Structure 1
Amino acid sequence: MTASLRPNGDRGTPLPRQQSKQRDAFFDNAKYLAIVLVGVGHAWGQILDGNRTVETLYRVVYTFHMPAFIIISGYFSRSFDLSPKRVKRLITGVVVPYVVFEVAYSLHRRYGDDAPDHDISLLDPTYLLWFLCALFVWRLTTPIWKTVRWPLPIALGIAALASMAPSVGNDLNMQRVLQFLPCFVLGLVLRPEHFALVRRRSVRIASVPVVAAAVAVAWWSVPRMETAWFYRNAPAQAADAPWWTGPVLTLALFGCSVVLTACFFAWVPGRRMWFTALGAGTIYGYLLHGFLVKAGTYEGWFQEPVLDQPLGEIGLTVLGAVAITLLCTKPVQRTLRCVVEPRMEWAFRRDAGEEAREREARPKTGAREAVEAREPNQKVPV
């Protein structure tokens, strides 16, 4: 940065490429706010029994918080291909954290919940780790969705079929992978102008009655509909419902998710806020906050009578938001980057294109040094 206080410094001197490429504040804000809702939702999930107000808010949040996160993940996966660079990033950013945290969560349950017989299984994701399994599968299939003509209708058809297919097993939590697939594919087909559209002032105003109506419907649904439908991790038959309710509810929930996600995006600020930088660390908050929730379950913290009172519920909500915010901060990122975002250069072959560029650069560098040695006072043109 030059002495000038202007972002671009001297107008005649362009910034280097690495400095001019900045993160979009809107998406970082959206990721942070979505991850806060994830943490708060998991806290609410421990006190639902007999609490219609909390369950109403819980259902509204569960309708859109993970779809919003998944849509953003799909949007930023548009450039994914099966090149070595992308595959390496998929392994270090998804596979390795999944293996590390699956083992960690399994050990946490084994010793924290006094369950010495609890197995460590990489095929049965623990708690929130299903998202990493899903992200791995979705990104691997991205070239397919970028090739077919009607990606979103096909993804909706697959999700609808999965919702009425008990034969889809629990390995890698495949029901969730398939039922949330349309959200990821929707992110793949979205463009910047679509996000600009939902951020218009008219959409922001219209979202208020829409969310109010959603809260009213959720309140009405509490005694009439199982909360498990919002998890999308089982076929209709698992809830003793007719097979045809699976596709109907899958399409209905997808529509509600899209509408409420649009309302959510409409209210996400587009400028830099105090929490914008935390958007880059949401994966840390996501992976780590589950230990706090599970520890509270194992230790019986959520059974405290105070949590049955409005002030206790508000306090738990604030505590959940603060905890997941702290887990997204830079100190946590620096401490755990070795397992959440490891580089692992030792585990991968060098890219052939990169090696070729280095070989081409070596003779030129040597020739330049030789000329400079012979003619030290003569400037060699670049």
Structure 2
Amino acid sequence: MTALESVPVTTAPTKERVAYLDNARYWVMLLVVIGHSLTQFGDIDSARAVYVWIYAFHMPFFVLISGYTARRFMGDARQVRRTVSTLVVPYLIVETSMQLITRHYTGDPDPLMILSPQWLAWFLAALFVWRLTTPIWRALKYPITTSIIISLTVGLFEIPNVLALPKILGFLPFYVVGMHMSREWFERLTEIPVRIVSGIVLVVAFLICFRYSAGWETDWLLWKQRYDELPLSATPLEGITQRAELLVVGFVMTFAALSLVPKRRSWTTRLGGRTFYSYLLHGYVILFLTHQLGLFSSIEPYGVPAVIACIIGATILANLLMFEVVAKIFRPVFEPKLNWLFRTPPPRDQSAEATGPSTKIEA
């Protein structure tokens, strides 16, 4: 049994937003938008290095925080309704529209594969599946060990991409560990000695990415291919070893990044409470800039200056999409009330409030 597996799975109810978590959501959302933007550069070494550094931990960070915020999910009527309105509906809207847009420009996918997410909507599907299985991970005796075994062995088998199942199972340990973390664990991470070490870890990791990422197959960071499938082309032992290394790197860098997140309330706290819309909308902007304007291909010959400009532009875009006006405009679309679909829920009581986490994307 690991130390985290002995941590109690219930905690005192949180009645207000926690500044530390909203700050964490803000910073990881910047990484998400920057990372997705850098994927448009295929042959720039500096872009590849930054991409590898970001992808080594930004989704593990994302998933772990999501597991922590969903740790009390029990599947009552209110939670199910919230899950449908903030995960299922946005998934259908985003995946359908993005596949249509992509097919308009490239001809693929044809036919549409709505239950096989092609890009960012996979995480909505993952949150849906993880939340529904949350009671299982609370009931198991060794949930973290079990999730790690699943993650390591899933790459040995042919698993269809229905609702991004290979990625869901690959990233599973980060969700389960997040579920079993407590406020005290986060407090320990923010102690000064830990923060100093964390800063060193992230800087060293960044330098390693610049030195060695050129010859490494980045598809490992997508967590979706079978080990013996192209372009991975690994033996079972090589695949399991590489996945295990990615798990270790993901956890170490995630905890290091969490250690550096500010605890005090600031402007990032306000924006961090609206990462939901930044996540859902930034992909449309990237698709428009890529296919309609050809922006990334036109600036790619400039090399490092193009990468810097991309990072700055992605940062500005992420911040703009977290403004309150964006939330007001798109809330009726991505968070419909669905009164016509669900029965009127019973009156909310104190116990329901204690077990009802938000089902939005919690970055």
The TM-score normalised by the length of structure 2 is 0.87
Match of residue 196 from structure 2: 205
Q: Which region of structure 1 is more displaced relative to structure 2, 299-308 or 333-342?
A: 299-308
Structure 2: distance between partners of 1:198 and 1:279: 20
Q: Does 1:32 align with 2:23?
A: no
Match of residue 128 from structure 2: 136
* Offset, 1:116: 8.2
Q: Per-residue displacement from partner, 1:54-108 (whole Å, max 9, x unpaired)?
A: 2112111111111111111100101101211111111111101101111211222
Check the 8 A contact 1:75/1:189 in 2, yes or no: yes
Structure 2: distance between partners of 1:92 and 1:245: 41
Q: Per-residue displacement from partner, 1:239-285 (whole Å, max 9, x unpaired)?
A: 21112222212221111111111111111111112221111211111
Question: Per the alignment, in what secondary structure is the counterpart of residue 298 of structure 1?
Answer: helix
* Offset, 1:306: 5.8
Count of aligned pairs between the two proteins: 333
* Gap change, CA 1:58 and 1:354, over 3 Å in 2: same
What amino acid is the match of 1:104?
S
Structure 2: distance between partners of 1:339 and 1:137: 22
Q: Per-residue displacement from partner, 1:282-302 (whole Å, max 9, x unpaired)?
A: 111111111111222213211
Q: Which has the larger radius of gyration?
A: 1
- The one of the two structures with greater contact order (alpha-carbon pairs below 8 A, sep at least 6) is 2
What pairs up with 1:164-243 in 2 under 5 angstroms? 164-165=156-157, 167-238=158-229, 239-243=232-236
Question: Per the alignment, in what secondary structure is the counterpart of residue 322 of structure 1?
Answer: helix
Structure 1: distance between partners of 2:233 and 2:245: 19
What pairs up with 1:274-293 in 2 under 5 angstroms? 274-293=267-286
Q: Does 1:346 align with 2:337?
A: no
Q: Does 1:78 align with 2:74?
A: no
* Offset, 1:123: 1.2
Q: Specify which of 44, 47, 51 is matched with residue 41 of structure 2.
A: 47
Match of residue 101 from structure 2: 108
Q: Per-residue displacement from partner, 1:19-38 (whole Å, max 9, x unpaired)?
A: x9431111111101101110
Question: Per the alignment, in what secondary structure is the counterpart of residue 331 of structure 1?
Answer: helix
* Gap change, CA 1:312 and 1:225, over 3 Å in 2: closer
What amino acid is the match of 1:30?
A
Match of residue 290 from structure 2: 297
Q: Which region of structure 1 is more displaced relative to structure 2, 225-234 or 51-60?
A: 51-60
Question: Per the alignment, in what secondary structure is the counterpart of residue 102 of structure 1?
Answer: helix
* Gap change, CA 1:29 and 1:130, over 3 Å in 2: same
Q: Per-residue displacement from partner, 1:135-186 (whole Å, max 9, x unpaired)?
A: 1110110000000011111001111111221x21122221111101111111
- Structure 1 stretches (4+) deviating beyond 4 angstroms? none
Match of residue 261 from structure 2: 268
The TM-score normalised by the length of structure 1 is 0.83
* Gap change, CA 1:247 and 1:334, over 3 Å in 2: same
Check the 8 A contact 1:307/1:313 in 2, yes or no: no
Check the 8 A contact 2:49/2:214 in 1, yes or no: no
Match of residue 368 from structure 1: none
* Offset, 1:212: 2.7
Q: Name the Cα RMSD after superposition.
A: 1.9
Q: Specify which of 151, 165, 169 is matched with residue 159 of structure 1.
A: 151
Q: Does 1:94 align with 2:87?
A: yes
Percent identity, aligned pairs only, is: 32
Structure 1: distance between partners of 2:24 and 2:200: 21
Q: Which runs of 5+ in 1 are unaligned?
A: 1-19, 357-382
Structure 2: distance between partners of 1:159 and 1:270: 32
Question: Per the alignment, in what secondary structure is the counterpart of residue 295 of structure 1?
Answer: helix
Q: Which runs of 5+ in 2 are unaligned?
A: 1-13, 350-363
